Amino acid sequence: MAPHNPALSESNDIDYDVVVVGAGMGGIYATHTYTEDGLSVLGLEGAAGVGGVWYHNRYPGARVDVESFYYSYFFDKDLYKEWKWTERYPAQPEILAYLDHVAERFHVKEKFQFNTWMSGAQWDPAGNRYTVTTDKGDTYTCRYLVMTSGQLSKPRKPSFEGLDDFQGEWVQTSQWPDRHIELEGKRIAIIGTGSSGVQAIPILAEAASHLTVFHRTANYSIPANNSPLDQAKYDDFAGRLDEVWEEVVHHPGAAPIPMPSRAAADYTPEEQQARLEECWSYGGHSMNLVFTDQGTNKDVNDIVSEFVRNKIRTIVDDPDVAETLVPTEYPIGSRRLCVVTGFYKTFIRDNVTLVDVKSDPIIKITPTGIQTQNGHIEVDLIVFALGFNAFTGALDEANITNEEGKHPSDLWKRGPRTYLGLMTTGFPNLFIITGPGSPSVLANMIVCNVQHVDFVGDIISHMHEHHYNRVEPTLDAQDSWTEHVAEVASKLLRLNVENYMVHVNKDDNSRVFQPYAGGFPAYVQRCEEVIANDFEGFDFK
């Protein structure tokens, strides 16, 4: 348990330089990078293998909505060249295989303890280190605690009355078991129609004798238009990876899809329709990028929203079902777009029923099914697709305490406060990868993870160079970044819509947008300026 490189570590009274928590995309890269940097690294992972969200979200239909050309690590040219994606938007098993391959290839797995949850970490100011405990009863000390535990990894648990007495089987999309779940011929219910639910629904419908979909808020679901991978394009990318990486980091979402160049008013109505059709055909998040002003101008947003509503009306033949599925409660793009394959068509099937829980609420789960206000539905299997305690859920569960025994969330009662989404004042040497205040879920997560891990690596190198023991952001830097994050989000229509990206203070209804909405390039530029200005905003001791 001695440090891998005592010369770098300088301190012999710690077990590891770095403890990395979570073996998802961020944890794999962090473990590889910091090991390469000569640091000793211990990884802790609650699951039996690597993959993070792609380990747990193995529900039928799960697939990424970022094109595989960009949903890849770029740090190793041979890795990029050799890996063969099969689809434009790969499915969960393929992504998990990819992450497993990367972890294997770069000897990351041997650094991790699997089936091991971190149960707490306490900052020790005298030793400038964290004491990390696990559910196995082990204790480790480390200089740096790197949380790659994700922003969408702590599932919202079902809390329906009667669930304990249900005699059938129930599962969560976000914790789909690593075993065969029999779907064929079953009477299945699914509750939740966010990004996860809408992906699972078409597959469940194909297998079930009957599928009942319980939905609460209609979402905008845009066809992915998935296709086999364009191998020639991939090979071209692999041959000029540095150039492609530049394109990636200069795109607001860190995944180059065509950007709008003009406001809606710059087009005639006919040209607007042509542009809408063009984005619909491209598919996925392109529907957020039809006009430059659709995220800030409600009238323009209405044009895009109405276009999608009409598409739904043409696909779903039953007008009552169609109107239930038509999103009316919020402007398009003010919640994350759902990206789907065959979702609306599923409601043409005669083995599928839609229940709107706003007009027919779920009263309880019974031993044999679901009791709603209007009736009882007998089911064999219930699938919960209820989403996550986003941004703070995994961090809270990790039970990290500072010198005063406080958790980060104790100081974030009115919304997260961070510097660059990476660190929070009062918690020295704690790095939150893709945390609130960084682009995080608004950009391509694999790229965000890599950028953050590299930035943290730069901070650690700077510390070793100057023999510093601890770092945390100054309160001023944290306050001004938090204000900047709020300022950038202030004009967004999505700030005023109920969704997991917004923290709402119940007493005065004030709203805090959690990710940084200024775009990935602006964020990267700020990080580069911080480094160029001798790590301004960080207080080193």
Decide: 381 and 181 in contact? Cβ < 8 Å. Answer: yes
Instruction: Measure the CA–CA gap between 26 and 438, rounded to whole angstroms.
Output: 14
- With CA atoms as reference, report the closest residue to 140 among 132, 151, 148, 149: 132
Instruction: Measure the CA–CA gap between 312 and 143, rounded to whole angstroms.
Output: 54
The kind and range of the H/E element at 535 are none
State the minimum distance, in angstroms, from the CB of residue 279 to ligand N01. 18
Compare residues 9 and 72 and give the one whose CB is closer to ligand N01: 72
- With CA atoms as reference, report the closest residue to 379 among 527, 214, 169, 99: 169
Phi–psi pair at 262, nearest 5 degrees:
-135, 150
| Burial annotation 84-93 (CB, 10 A radius, 16+ → b, else e) | ebebbbbbbe
Compare residues 141 and 193 and give the one whose CB is closer to ligand N01: 193
Cβ-Cβ contacts under 8 Å for 35 (sequence gap 6 or more): 4, 41, 107, 108, 111
State the minimum distance, in angstroms, from the CB of residue 64 to ligand N01. 5
Answer yes or no whether residue 216 interacts with ligand N01 by CB under 6 A.
Answer: yes
Answer yes or no whether residue 357 interacts with ligand N01 by CB under 6 A.
Answer: yes
Which residues share a beta bridge with 16?
142
Answer yes or no whether residue 67 interacts with ligand N01 by CB under 6 A.
Answer: no
- Out of 31, 68, 72, 217, point to the residue binding ligand N01 (CB under 6 A): 217
Instruction: Measure the CA–CA gap between 92 and 112, rounded to whole angstroms.
Output: 22
The kind and range of the H/E element at 216 are none
State the minimum distance, in angstroms, from the CB of residue 216 to ligand N01. 3
| Burial annotation 196-223 (CB, 10 A radius, 16+ → b, else e) | bbbbbbbbbbbbbebbbbbbbbbbbbbb
What is the residue whose two structure tokens read 């064929």? Answer: 184
Compare residues 341 and 451 and give the one whose CB is closer to ligand N01: 341
Answer yes or no whether residue 151 interacts with ligand N01 by CB under 6 A.
Answer: no
State the minimum distance, in angstroms, from the CB of residue 62 to ligand N01. 6
**DSSP code string of 220-267:** -EEE----B--HHHHHHHHHTHHHHHHHHHTSTTSS--PPP-S-GGGS
Instruction: Measure the CA–CA gap between 178 and 517, rounded to whole angstroms.
Output: 35
Three-class SS of residue 213? strand
What are 130's two structure tokens? 């964290």
What is the residue whose two structure tokens read 């011929």? Answer: 185
State the minimum distance, in angstroms, from the CB of residue 335 to ligand N01. 7
**Binding to ligand N01 in span 459-518, by CB under 6 A:** 500
Compare residues 197 and 439 and give the one whose CB is closer to ligand N01: 197
Q: Give residue number: closest CB to ligand N01.
A: 194
- Out of 152, 300, 355, 443, point to the residue binding ligand N01 (CB under 6 A): 152
- Out of 24, 90, 223, 387, point to the residue binding ligand N01 (CB under 6 A): 387
State the minimum distance, in angstroms, from the CB of residue 284 to ligand N01. 9
Answer yes or no whether residue 333 interacts with ligand N01 by CB under 6 A.
Answer: no
- With CA atoms as reference, report the closest residue to 418 among 538, 254, 251, 252: 538
**Which span sits near ligand N01 by CB under 6 A: 213-221, 228-236, 369-377, 526-534?**
213-221
- Out of 194, 327, 333, 436, point to the residue binding ligand N01 (CB under 6 A): 194
- Out of 197, 295, 331, 415, point to the residue binding ligand N01 (CB under 6 A): 197
State the minimum distance, in angstroms, from the CB of residue 224 to ligand N01. 8
State the minimum distance, in angstroms, from the CB of residue 194 to ligand N01. 2
Answer yes or no whether residue 192 interacts with ligand N01 by CB under 6 A.
Answer: yes
Answer yes or no whether residue 352 interacts with ligand N01 by CB under 6 A.
Answer: no
Answer yes or no whether residue 365 interacts with ligand N01 by CB under 6 A.
Answer: no
- Out of 14, 19, 23, 64, point to the residue binding ligand N01 (CB under 6 A): 64
- With CA atoms as reference, report the closest residue to 254 among 445, 498, 406: 445
Answer yes or no whether residue 90 interacts with ligand N01 by CB under 6 A.
Answer: no
**Binding to ligand N01 in span 252-291, by CB under 6 A:** none
Answer yes or no whether residue 441 interacts with ligand N01 by CB under 6 A.
Answer: yes
Decide: 255 and 67 in contact? Cβ < 8 Å. Answer: yes
Answer yes or no whether residue 225 interacts with ligand N01 by CB under 6 A.
Answer: no
State the minimum distance, in angstroms, from the CB of residue 375 to ligand N01. 17
Which residues share a beta bridge with 169?
381
Answer yes or no whether residue 234 interacts with ligand N01 by CB under 6 A.
Answer: no
State the minimum distance, in angstroms, from the CB of residue 438 to ligand N01. 15
Count residues near ligand N01 (CB under 6 A): 24
**Which span sits near ligand N01 by CB under 6 A: 71-79, 345-353, 380-388, 533-541?**
380-388
State the minimum distance, in angstroms, from the CB of residue 1 to ligand N01. 37
- The residue ranges that bind ligand N01 (CB under 6 A) are 64-65, 152, 174, 191-197, 199, 214, 216-217, 336, 339, 357, 385-388, 441, 500
